[in-house]
């Protein structure tokens, strides 16, 4: 992508500052993976594609698909599957429904009461609103609950644990507060929700309540629904609490598809169910509980926006929590639609978005689903007029994403072998809103994604969405980020953790993946509530569906280019530079951690904690810890050096006239694709990550204690974070050999370009 953003003078300065390896393509007309001529054809096709997109379709389909609650196993979820199937077929796709049978608990009993110092029984219900036409469909709505909480009937003193992540318990330790035998109340935020009961149970709590503090998505952020978009007093966030950082998908069938005949674990032994009962509540229900807490005042950063002094407890607030679930096996129905490729039908470009919701789910996930449908419809139209993709395109409307990426995970596990042979890309979306391009993915796709973002126009600003994204980074970033946003040839894309259906593709299968959407001007608090409705969406999120169409343009362009490119449009410069950053990051993390431990020990030795603490408050000074060793990062640095060398050689080979000549042959193109496809797979290891073999990718993983949040070079990073020095040392070696493996794959591609095989 060109540096179109710069004014002439600034651009002149930049020309000197640019690193040659990062330089933009010679002109606007070239595209990674295409020669000049095919790029021209491609752009003409894309113009026809854009012209076919109609925002009226998005609006109409959203209204249809979100008209009734449609969670896993519900009648309307099934109706939607049939509707989607019909649409794909009507557009000429070879479409089927593929079903799996998964564990999906729904509530039978939900009771939460404050029994001391006074009585309060939680309402646990979101009231219908006259301003929201679907909010009164109470008979079909799933009540507010957390899926995969175990059954339980517990009573205990309450302790407020902030976000309920490990460092919050360290803070409680310092105040002499133990949650053993207690019920914790955590607020949403700061981690994926499933981390909260997991960490609470690790610390001995017997129950876990999660509430939505108005600080995080309620009145503190903006006017509440229906006056504004934010969560009102009785809104609560449903959601899964399965231990997905261990493995996503059906808790009973790890690693294999949940087909009829699959071998299933006992529910009792399923490791991803919670260890303690968990219930989400509204801030209306949380207020009496928090008000009744005594004990020390919570640290400043823990205090939310409720009009009370936040205390930690334990007690005198004592609560009784009783939960029972129907532990049913329910079907999930994935709608899979194929448009077969011409030249390279064995290479599959896969595009997916889920369609199941917690309730009506107009935003999550229908806003993304309808953008995907519109893409698919337009491609169908193009196909009708004679165009045929070189590679096979597969559209997937996933079911069961909400409870735990069920539809996508079971499909990937079922088709593992053929996907490994055929899949060249997975493109995901989920909720979509108004604002800025949000993109995460494999860094081998970074340059490609920059080219695509360069060609999509922002509906509000009539500049490219890439340009708008850079402008925001200039405004919000620190000096380094600002300089990069202006000067780096490509804007950076984020690394993927988890939270949507790309996870099985990227982290289990090892296929280059990306996740796309728009947002940032569409704040609100309807997430996983009955108020995530059509009425809400068209008032507060993307009223005109212009950003829905922008998503169709973006993801459709990605699919089209990948399907039609001469060779797979992967490139390695950005990837290698990014891995270099990760290497520096984990090395700095190790240094910082070593210094932190040394500083802590020094403070203990010098009596600093004792000298400062207020004798009228409980304060337990931290315990001394063995000094952290210096880790041997040399293998990683050597691997990185080799990767840099391989990347440089590949780029040189690719730019050579001889290679360009060779690449005119379809056979060579196919051979190169085969090698390029293998590069992402070479980032995985069969053994997976320590204690979670399902996660095979060695560069990206969801954090074991963050959930959705990504950990890059996860093996090393998490070992250092856990102060597990032996494992950190081992994982440096593992990561180094993985990176050597990636370099070897790139070398194979280089050899091929140089006329070898």
Beta carbon of residue 299, minimum distance to a copy of itself (angstroms, whole number)? 12
Residue 316 lies near a copy of itself (rule: CB under 8 A) = no
Beta carbon of residue 606, minimum distance to a copy of itself (angstroms, whole number)? 6
Residue 570 lies near a copy of itself (rule: CB under 8 A) = no
Selected binder of a copy of itself within 475, 478, 657, 667 (CB under 8 A): 475
Alpha helices (H) along 219-275: none
Which structure tokens are listed for 755?
Answer: 């006329």
Choice between 309 and 326, CB closer to a copy of itself: 309
Count CB atoms within 10 A of the CB of residue 661.
11
Residue 664 lies near a copy of itself (rule: CB under 8 A) = no
Residue 188 lies near a copy of itself (rule: CB under 8 A) = no
Interacting residues with a copy of itself between 62 and 121 (CB under 8 A) = none
Residue 630 lies near a copy of itself (rule: CB under 8 A) = no
Selected binder of a copy of itself within 214, 245, 352, 524 (CB under 8 A): 214
| 437 strand-pairing partners | 518
Query: For the chain, how long is the longest CA-to-CA vector?
Result: 82
Sign of CA dihedral 7, 11, 12, 17: positive
Choice between 328 and 606, CB closer to a copy of itself: 606
Beta carbon of residue 471, minimum distance to a copy of itself (angstroms, whole number)? 4
**What is the DSSP pairing of strand 344-354 with strand 391-398?**
parallel
Cis peptide before 414 (omega within 30 of 0): no
Cis peptide before 365 (omega within 30 of 0): yes
Interacting residues with a copy of itself between 495 and 554 (CB under 8 A) = 521
Using the rule CB under 8 A, give the single segment among 149-157, 390-398, 466-474, 640-648 that binds a copy of itself: 466-474
Selected binder of a copy of itself within 460, 481, 484, 546 (CB under 8 A): 460
Choice between 21 and 604, CB closer to a copy of itself: 604
Alpha helices (H) along 514-633: 534-540, 546-564, 573-606, 608-612
**What is the DSSP pairing of strand 94-116 with strand 207-211?**
unpaired
What is the pattern of x (binds a copy of itself, CB under 8 A) and - over residues 383-422? ----------------------------------------
Cα 627–chain centre separation: 35
Beta carbon of residue 239, minimum distance to a copy of itself (angstroms, whole number)? 25
Selected binder of a copy of itself within 62, 224, 394, 631 (CB under 8 A): 224
Beta carbon of residue 237, minimum distance to a copy of itself (angstroms, whole number)? 19
What contacts 366, CB < 8 A, 6 or more positions away? 61, 62, 65, 66, 355, 357
| 702 strand-pairing partners | 710
Angle (nearest 5°) at CA 552 between 549 and 556? 155
Choice between 593 and 608, CB closer to a copy of itself: 608
Selected binder of a copy of itself within 180, 421, 602, 691 (CB under 8 A): 602
Beta carbon of residue 580, minimum distance to a copy of itself (angstroms, whole number)? 26
CB burial string 714-743: b at 16+ within 10 A, e below: bbbbbbbbeeebebbbebbebbbebbbbbb
Residue 340 lies near a copy of itself (rule: CB under 8 A) = no
Residue 258 lies near a copy of itself (rule: CB under 8 A) = no
Selected binder of a copy of itself within 29, 41, 118, 220 (CB under 8 A): 220
SS3 120: strand
Beta carbon of residue 297, minimum distance to a copy of itself (angstroms, whole number)? 5
Selected binder of a copy of itself within 93, 192, 219, 234 (CB under 8 A): 219
Is the separation of the CB atoms in 542 and 10 below 8 Å?
Answer: no
Closest CA to 200 of 190, 210, 215: 210
Residue 307 lies near a copy of itself (rule: CB under 8 A) = yes
Residue 313 lies near a copy of itself (rule: CB under 8 A) = no
What backbone torsions phi and psi does residue 350 show, to the nearest 5 degrees? -110, 135
# residues near a copy of itself by CB under 8 A: 46
Residue 605 lies near a copy of itself (rule: CB under 8 A) = yes
Closest CA to 367 of 66, 131, 89, 80: 66
Interacting residues with a copy of itself between 225 and 244 (CB under 8 A) = 228, 230
Beta carbon of residue 119, minimum distance to a copy of itself (angstroms, whole number)? 21
Residue 285 lies near a copy of itself (rule: CB under 8 A) = no
Is the separation of the CB atoms in 183 and 160 below 8 Å?
Answer: no
Burial class (CB in 10 A: 0-12, 13-18, 19+), 140: middle
DSSP 512: -
SS3 99: strand
Residue 619 lies near a copy of itself (rule: CB under 8 A) = no
The contact set with a copy of itself (CB under 8 A) reads 5-7, 10, 214, 219-224, 228, 230, 297, 303, 305-309, 435, 460-461, 463, 467-468, 471-472, 474-475, 482, 521, 599, 602-603, 605-612, 614-616
């Amino acid at each position: 992508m060109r540096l179109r953003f710069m004014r002439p003078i600034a651009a002149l300065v930049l020309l000197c500052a640019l690193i040659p390896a990062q330089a933009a393509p010679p002109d606007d007309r070239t595209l990674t993976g295409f020669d000049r001529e095919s790029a021209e054809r491609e752009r003409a096709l894309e113009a026809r594609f854009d012209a076919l997109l109609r925002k009226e379709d998005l609006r109409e389909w959203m209204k249809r698909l979100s008209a009734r609650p449609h969670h896993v196993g519900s009648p309307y979820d099934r109706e939607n599957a049939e509707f989607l199937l019909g649409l794909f077929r009507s557009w000429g796709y070879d479409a089927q429904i593929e079903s799996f049978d998964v564990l999906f608990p729904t509530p039978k009993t939900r009771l939460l009461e404050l029994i001391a110092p006074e009585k309060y029984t939680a309402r646990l219900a979101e009231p219908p609103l006259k301003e929201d036409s679907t909010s009164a469909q109470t008979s079909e709505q799933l009540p507010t609950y957390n899926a995969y909480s175990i059954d339980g009937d517990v009573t205990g003193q309450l302790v407020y644990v902030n976000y309920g992540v490990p460092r919050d318990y360290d803070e409680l330790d310092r105040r002499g507060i133990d949650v053993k035998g207690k019920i914790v109340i955590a607020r949403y935020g700061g981690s994926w929700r499933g981390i909260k009961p997991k960490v609470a149970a690790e610390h001995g709590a017997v129950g876990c309540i999660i509430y939505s503090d108005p600080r995080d998505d309620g009145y503190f952020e903006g006017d509440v629904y229906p006056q504004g978009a934010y969560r009102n007093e009785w809104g609560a966030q449903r959601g899964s609490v399965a231990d997905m950082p261990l493995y996503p998908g059906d808790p009973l069938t790890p690693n294999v598809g949940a087909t009829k005949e699959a071998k299933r674990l006992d529910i009792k032994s399923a490791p991803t169910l919670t260890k303690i009962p968990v219930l989400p509540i509204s801030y209306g229900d949380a207020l009496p509980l928090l008000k009744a807490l005594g004990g020390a005042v919570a640290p400043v950063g823990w205090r939310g926006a409720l009009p009370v002094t936040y205390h930690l407890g334990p007690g005198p607030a004592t609560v009784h929590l009783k939960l029972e679930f129907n532990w049913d096996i329910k079907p999930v129905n994935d709608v899979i639609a194929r448009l077969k490729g011409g030249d390279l039908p064995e290479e599959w470009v896969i595009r997916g978005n889920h369609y199941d919701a917690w309730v009506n789910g107009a935003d999550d996930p229908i806003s993304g689903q309808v953008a995907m449908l519109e893409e698919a419809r337009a491609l169908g139209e193009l196909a009708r007029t004679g165009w045929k993709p070189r590679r096979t395109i597969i559209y997937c409307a996933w079911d069961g994403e909400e409870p735990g990426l069920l539809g996508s995970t079971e499909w990937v596990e079922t088709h593992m072998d053929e996907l490994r042979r055929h899949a060249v890309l997975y493109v995901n979306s989920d909720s979509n809103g108004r604002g800025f391009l949000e993109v995460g993915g494999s860094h081998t796709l970074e340059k490609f994604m920059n080219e695509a973002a360069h060609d999509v126009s922002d509906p509000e600003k009539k500049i490219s969405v890439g340009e708008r994204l850079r402008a925001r980074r200039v405004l919000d970033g620190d000096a380094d980020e600002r300089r990069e946003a202006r000067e780096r040839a490509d804007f950076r894309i984020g690394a993927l953790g988890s939270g949507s259906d790309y996870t099985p593709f990227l982290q289990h299968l090892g296929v280059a993946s990306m996740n796309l959407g728009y947002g940032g001007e569409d704040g609100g608090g309807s997430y996983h509530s009955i108020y995530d409705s059509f009425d809400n969406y068209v008032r507060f999120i993307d009223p005109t569906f212009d950003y829905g169409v922008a998503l169709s343009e973006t993801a459709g362009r990605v699919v089209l280019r990948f399907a039609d490119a001469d060779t797979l449009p992967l490139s390695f410069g950005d990837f290698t530079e990014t891995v270099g950053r990760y290497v520096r990051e984990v090395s700095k993390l190790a240094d910082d951690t070593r210094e932190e431990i040394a500083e802590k020990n020094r403070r203990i030795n010098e009596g600093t904690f004792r000298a400062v603490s207020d004798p009228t408050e409980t304060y337990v000074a931290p315990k001394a810890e063995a000094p952290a060793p210096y880790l041997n990062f040399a293998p990683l640095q050597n691997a990185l050096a080799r990767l840099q060398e391989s990347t440089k050689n590949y780029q040189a080979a690719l730019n050579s006239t001889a290679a360009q000549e060779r690449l005119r042959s379809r056979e060579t193109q196919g051979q190169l694709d085969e090698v390029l496809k293998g590069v992402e797979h070479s980032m995985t290891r069969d053994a997976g990550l320590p204690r979670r073999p399902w996660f095979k990718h060695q560069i990206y993983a969801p954090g074991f204690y963050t959930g959705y949040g990504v950990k890059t070079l996860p093996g090393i990073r998490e070992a250092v974070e856990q102060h597990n020095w032996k494992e950190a040392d081992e994982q440096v070696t593992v990561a180094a050999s993985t990176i050597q493996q990636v370099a070897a794959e790139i070398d194979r591609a280089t050899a091929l370009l140089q006329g070898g095989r």
